[in-house]
Amino acid sequence: MIEIREATKEDFPRVLELIMELAIFEKEPDAVEVTVEELEQNGLGEQALFKCFVGIYDGNIEGISLCYPRFSTWKGKTIHLEDLIVTEKMRGKGLGKALYNKVLQYAYDHRVKRVEWVVLDWNTDAVAFYERTGATMIKDWYLAQMDQQSLENYIKG
């Protein structure tokens, strides 16, 4: 049986394991810098920067969905779905959809105007899943990022 609930402090070591699993799947195994302590500090309490839901199957955390609030100058309150992670052995068994549904219900309950996320173009299974749920893949926008070193270089100019 699948259970979806908010993550607790005790869950964050497993959450980090799943983040690492995703990084390996996305061919970025050395990119993860976040620690369990950072997850705890930023994901719990009244001033939490993100909401993390865990997906439990047979008593084990087999997936997570992590989202956080954003603000659109055009729309108002929005939510960004940062990651939806399901262990390889649980893919196709409904856990990912249950985690996705939890984020969308959370967004709906908080009356946000939009939920947005990024998906790798080569992850065709994920793209197809999201499109089946009514999501639109916006192909005429670039994703722009500035990592910590680039930010420092720019500021110190």
pLDDT at 71: 98
Pairing of strands 76-86, 114-116: parallel
pLDDT at 150: 97
In contact, 95 and 63? CB cutoff 8 Å: yes
Cα–Cα dist 67/106, whole Å: 10
pTM of the model: 0.93
Which domains are present in the chain? 2-156 (3.40.630.30)
pLDDT tens by residue, 39-77: 999 999 999 999 999 999 999 999 999 999 999 999 999
- Helix boundaries (H) for 26-147: 36-43, 95-109, 124-132
pLDDT at 50: 99
In contact, 99 and 129? CB cutoff 8 Å: no
The residues that are catalytic are 130
CA neighbor of 50 nearest in space, from 38, 60, 63, 35: 38
In contact, 96 and 18? CB cutoff 8 Å: no
pLDDT at 107: 98
CA neighbor of 19 nearest in space, from 82, 91, 103, 99: 82
Average pLDDT over residues 125-136: 95
Q: Which phi and psi (to 5°) does residue 53 adopt?
A: -110, 140
